[in-house]
Amino acid sequence: MPSQNPLSSGPHTSVTVVHDKGLKRDIGKTGLLFTGVGSIIGSGWLFGAFDAASMAGPAAVLSWAIGAILIIFVALNYSELGVMFPVAGGVVRYPHYAFGSFASYTSGWITWLSAAGTVGIEVLAAIQYASSYMPWLMETKDGVLVLTVPGIFVSIAMVAVFCVINMFGVKFFAQFNNVLVWWKLAVIVLIFVVLVILAFNPGHFHMAEFGGFAPNGLAPIFASLPAAGIVFSYLGFRQGVEFAGETKNPQKNVPFAVVGSIVITAIIYILLQVAFIGAIPTELLKDGWGGLSFSNSAGPWAEIAIMLGAMWLAVILYIDAVVSPADTGLIFTALSPRLSYSQARVGNAPSGLTKLNKRGIPWIGLLVTFIVACFLFFPFPSWAKMVGFITSGTVISFGSGPVTVAALRRQLPDQERPFRLPGGDTLPFLGFLAANLIVFWTGWDTNWKLFLAMALGYVVLGLHYVFSDRSKIPPLQFKSGWWMLLWVGGLAVLSYLGDYGEGALGVLTFGWGELVCAIFTAIVFAVGIKTRLKSEEVITNVENTKQVSAEKIDGEE
């Protein structure tokens, strides 16, 4: 692992932080935490416990714990960055500061696409559960539930409602979200308590006739992290960073919200998995955990409640299965326009995306989010078809954060860091490794679509340069950002040579693949740090984005 060798202190190794103009700082400590918790507790738990148990058996409990640890390694890096630069859309802007426009565009494109897609996937989860009592919303094709034509129109209407709520400003959004989060937490506690009381069989965790604790070995424990939606279920931690520019005390609120939201939801998810495994009727395990199935795949939790005679709980679950993912969809509807706002702020997207309404909302970006989220219903008409793509894409977008932390420590050693990770480069390296392993475990059958989407993003970047005013577009600074191509290209090769997903060659089997991934991570980590911008270039990038913001806001006023 590369060692830290920071720059010596000097007069030009820090920059004055200026908060984004026009954005309202109306989110408090609890509001920011609940934005993260509400974003995390979406559709993942509705299907994740069933899918993880089918793949890993009772060892799925370990999958949820490992998933939380990996995401914490990534998230801690964003706690340092979010406090140092409390700006909207930080996931996009931090790579721009350290590596320039090409790096930030690479990260920003897939981040924005994944965020817009998350709006759609949460709507799909709500519709899928609702199809249990409104079957006209979805139909089965090739063994997968997909939207019908009426279901598509209902889905589009839900996205429209999310957009309307967000137009009323971040304060109204936070207050509305707090109510929904309390509802979601109450329902989850109720599910755990009721299932443990009604039917909890400890034997399900170890009985030899069902294959024991880990019936399929170690590999499925890791493969289920992306495939069962476990990592996807934690990705909402980013809200503490993305709304850093709109909270009253980012120095305390951002680390509290980022780490706190993961810890709280990890405990919740593990308890839910324990309750699910213990409450499954034993007759459903006659073919082992791999043969676990329900007659109604649209709502496994509700069906367990029905089989246990708790119809009243099933009703609550069907209601929550709409409310819970709808709240997460609402949050990501707020996030996506802030990402496009940040892309425009650094010159990688049309400047119109920085326009704010009187309530401080990037309203053009919100309109674009509505269009893209609705469009994605056509190529990805089901939850199962979309979850792997979004998981891998979002993790790649986060992966640049740890390298950015290591680079900025060398570029701006005198910068005030109210929250600083201990241990030099150790935690940034582990965060980068965690992100790469998650993508590797996602499998080639999903990843090739992701890498194709990233390639299309570069086509969009080229069109932006061709048809936009060059004087308003920053230089690509490709010399400091080319390591992104090494990183993404290397991940594509590793995924293809790996043993996860259909179509992979299986050359890198379990254990060897992870070892090669760790070596590859160390190489890219070192190259990324080596090719970083000079300190004065970082300061120029930060100052330029502040200047663009000031000119834009003043011009509107």
pLDDT at 521: 97
User: Would 14 be classed as within a structural domain?
Assistant: no
**DSSP secondary structure letter of residue 144:** E
User: Would 73 be classed as within a structural domain?
Assistant: yes
Give the whole-angstrom CA distance, residue 296 versus residue 376: 25
**What pLDDT, in 10s, does the model give residues 459-516?**
888 887 777 766 667 777 899 999 999 999 999 999 999 988 888 898 998 889 999 9
3-state DSSP assignment of residue 221: helix
3-state DSSP assignment of residue 188: helix
Give the whole-angstrom CA distance, residue 412 versus residue 10: 9
Contacts of 337 (CB under 8 A, 6+ apart): 166, 353, 361, 362, 363, 364, 365, 366, 368, 369
101 closest CA partner among 547, 540, 549, 553: 540
Q: For helices 300-307 and 311-345, give the axis angle rounded to 10 degrees.
A: 170
pLDDT at 526: 96
Return the residue matching tokens 């209601």: 319
Give the mean pLDDT of 253-278.
Answer: 88
User: Would 18 be classed as within a structural domain?
Assistant: no
Between 553 and 315, residue with greater pLDDT:
315
pLDDT at 119: 86
**What pLDDT, in 10s, does the model give residues 220-265?**
898 888 878 888 888 877 666 666 566 666 667 777 888 888 999 9
Per-residue pLDDT at 16 exceeds 70:
no
Q: Is the distance from CB of 345 to CB of 356 less than 8 angstroms?
A: no
Dihedrals phi, psi of 144, to nearest 5 degrees = -125, 135
Q: Is the distance from CB of 223 to CB of 514 less than 8 angstroms?
A: no
Give the whole-angstrom CA distance, residue 316 versus residue 189: 12
Q: Which stretch of DSSP H or E encloses residue 53? A: helix 44-56
Per-residue pLDDT at 555 exceeds 50:
no
pLDDT at 225: 87
User: Would 17 be classed as within a structural domain?
Assistant: no
Residue 99, class by beta-carbon neighbours within 10 Å (0-12 exposed, 13-18 middle, 19+ buried)? Answer: buried
User: Would 11 be classed as within a structural domain?
Assistant: no
Give the mean pLDDT of 256-285.
Answer: 88
pLDDT at 296: 60
pLDDT at 553: 36
> Number of helices (H) and strands (E), helices first, in the chain?
21, 2
Q: Is the distance from CB of 186 to CB of 143 less than 8 angstroms?
A: no
Per-residue pLDDT at 10 exceeds 90:
no
CA-based max dimension of the chain: 72
3-state DSSP assignment of residue 50: helix
**DSSP secondary structure letter of residue 533:** P
Tokens of 249: 């005390």
CATH number for the domain spanning 236: value is: 1.20.1740.10
In the chain, the number of structural domains is 1
Q: Which domain holds residue 446?
A: 29-556
pLDDT at 27: 65
Compute the C-alpha angle 483/223/332, nearest 5°. 65
Give the mean pLDDT of 356-378.
Answer: 81
335 closest CA partner among 151, 84, 183, 122: 122
Helices (H), 85-100: 90-99
- Full 3-state SS string of 263-278: HHHHHHHHHHHHHHHH
Name the average pLDDT for the chain.
81
User: Would 130 be classed as within a structural domain?
Assistant: yes
Per-residue pLDDT at 298 exceeds 60:
no
**What pLDDT, in 10s, does the model give residues 398-446?**
889 999 999 999 998 888 887 788 889 999 999 999 999 999 988 888 8
pLDDT at 170: 56
User: Would 361 be classed as within a structural domain?
Assistant: yes
User: Would 280 be classed as within a structural domain?
Assistant: yes
Dihedrals phi, psi of 20, to nearest 5 degrees = -60, 130
